[in-house]
């Protein structure tokens, strides 16, 4: 078997089209949508991700603002940038690109983002809404994965989903989201992580495997139940080359698989635009 491709570039383009139509509609009503990004330090990959987010904004008619702080800044200096975006009326929503350099307290920074402007859904208040199953901005990668699966008619409801990784931006919120009693979720979720001795024993029983481990090729074909759906959400860099969590051979066992490039990444960025649009709509209504 050779797996079908979960083409995130294609699905993200349809999401962007939808967003562009609504952004234009808001503009006709006199409301511009503005997204902000805060980049701290000189990490090349983070800078590239942020650049792509601004390019996406331009494509759909969202105006974007950017603050870049140097490598050696303190938590207090990052908080000043956060306060600036909290106060700016032209910024409906914004994100602080992660990871932050050592010495900057991520939890303090994320907690200082005004929850109504939290385009990443990573403020404790918004994560609390997710825990409670109430509406709020969803973290972009988990939301993008659900959107990607849905587009290809893959419904996690009633299925066993194994997630590799328990990080703040993907694994932990994705587990919460997929376990919620709501359409396109409603799954039995296992989270495997570095504290588990033989993750493959659990992964092998899953109908859907989502890897957010950030460990090159960690998911082997032998870990996959034949016909399972496999999503690679974790990436790492070998020089300037992005490497997937999924070993290439996974595609010979799975029914659906993400490509090394153009799977989850574009979906994450597309959901960022969706969240920015939703924040702007809330601002219009308030």
Catalytic: 97?
yes
Indicate whether 140 belongs to the interface with ligand GUN (CB under 6 A).
yes
| Closer of 169 and 211 to ligand GUN (Cβ) | 169
| Closer of 169 and 190 to ligand GUN (Cβ) | 169
Residue 261-280 contact track with ligand GUN, rule CB under 6 A, x = bound: -------x------------
Indicate whether 211 belongs to the interface with ligand GUN (CB under 6 A).
no
Give the binding range for ligand GUN (CB under 6 A) out of 95-103, 153-161, 171-179, 273-281: 95-103
| Closer of 97 and 211 to ligand GUN (Cβ) | 97
Catalytic: 53?
yes
Q: Residue 35: which of 269, 264, 267 has the closest Cα?
A: 269
Q: Residue 264: which of 245, 283, 279 has the closest Cα?
A: 245
Q: Residue 201: which of 177, 220, 186 has the closest Cα?
A: 220
Indicate whether 47 belongs to the interface with ligand GUN (CB under 6 A).
no
Q: Is the dihedral of CA 97, 130, 155, 161 positive or negative?
A: positive
Which residues lie below 8 Å from residue 172, measured CB to CB, with a gap of 6+? 166, 191
Q: Residue 274: which of 130, 122, 109, 139 has the closest Cα?
A: 139
| Closer of 45 and 179 to ligand GUN (Cβ) | 45
Whether 54 and 273 have beta carbons less than 8 Å apart is answered as: no
Indicate whether 92 belongs to the interface with ligand GUN (CB under 6 A).
no
Catalytic: 225?
no
Whether 103 and 77 have beta carbons less than 8 Å apart is answered as: no
List binders of ligand GUN among 168-207 (CB under 6 A).
Answer: 169
For residue 210, with 0-12 CB atoms within 10 Å meaning exposed, 13-18 middle and 19 or more buried, which class applies?
buried
Please pick, from the candidates 64, 126, 141, 258, the single residue that binds ligand GUN as defined by CB under 6 A: 141
Catalytic residue among 56, 118, 120, 207: 120
Residues that bind ligand GUN (CB under 6 A): 95-98, 120, 140-141, 169, 268
Q: What are the residue numbers of the active site?
A: 53, 97, 120
């Amino acid at each position: 078997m050779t797996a079908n491709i979960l083409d995130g570039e294609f699905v993200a383009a349809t999401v962007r089209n939808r967003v562009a139509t609504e952004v234009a509609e808001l503009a006709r009503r006199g409301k511009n949508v503005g997204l902000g990004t805060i980049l701290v330090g000189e990490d090349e990959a983070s800078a590239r991700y942020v650049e792509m987010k601004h390019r996406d904004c331009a494509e759909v008619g969202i105006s974007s603002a950017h603050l870049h702080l140097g490598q050696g800044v303190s938590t207090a200096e990052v908080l000043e940038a956060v306060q600036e975006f909290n106060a700016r009326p032209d910024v409906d929503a914004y994100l602080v690109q992660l990871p932050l350099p050592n010495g900057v307290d991520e939890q303090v920074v994320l907690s200082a983002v005004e929850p109504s402007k939290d385009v990443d859904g990573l403020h404790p208040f918004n994560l609390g809404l997710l825990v409670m199953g109430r509406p709020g901005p969803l973290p972009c990668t988990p939301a993008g994965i659900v959107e990607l699966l849905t587009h290809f008619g893959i419904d996690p409801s009633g299925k066993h989903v194994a997630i590799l990784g328990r990080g703040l931006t993907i694994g932990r919120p994705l587990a919460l989201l997929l376990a919620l009693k709501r359409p396109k979720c409603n799954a039995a979720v296992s989270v495997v992580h570095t504290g588990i001795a033989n993750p493959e024993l659990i992964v092998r029983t899953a109908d859907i495997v989502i890897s957010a481990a950030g460990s090159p090729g960690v998911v082997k074909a032998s870990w996959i139940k034949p016909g399972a759906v496999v999503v690679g959400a974790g990436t790492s860099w070998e020089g300037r080359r992005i490497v997937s969590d999924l070993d290439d051979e996974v595609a010979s066992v799975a029914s659906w698989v993400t490509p090394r490039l153009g799977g989850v990444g574009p979906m994450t960025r597309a959901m960022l635009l969706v969240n920015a649009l939703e924040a702007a709509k809330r601002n219009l209504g308030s």
